[in-house]
Amino acid sequence: MGLLSTIRMYAKRSKPLDAPTDVYAHEVGLLEGGTLDLGAQRGKPTLIVNTASKCGFTPQFTGLQELYDEYHGRGLEIVGCPSGDFADQEHDDAEAIGEVCQRNYGVTFPVTEKMSVRADPHPLWDDLARQPDSGAPAWNFTKYLVDGDGHLVARWGAKTKPRDPELVAKIESLLPPQQA
Q: Which residues are identified as catalytic?
A: 55
Closest by Cα among 38, 26, 30, 140 to 94: 30
Bridge partners (DSSP) of residue 30 are 112
Half-sphere exposure for 48 (CA within 13 Å, toward CB): 30
Alpha-helix runs per DSSP H in 76-180: 94-98, 105, 123-130, 165-174
Burial zone of 13 (CB within 10 Å; 0-12 exposed, 13-18 middle, 19+ buried):
exposed
CA–CA distance, 28 with 82 (Å, rounded to integer): 12
Calculated CA dihedral for residues 120, 102, 172, 24, nearest 10 degrees: 40
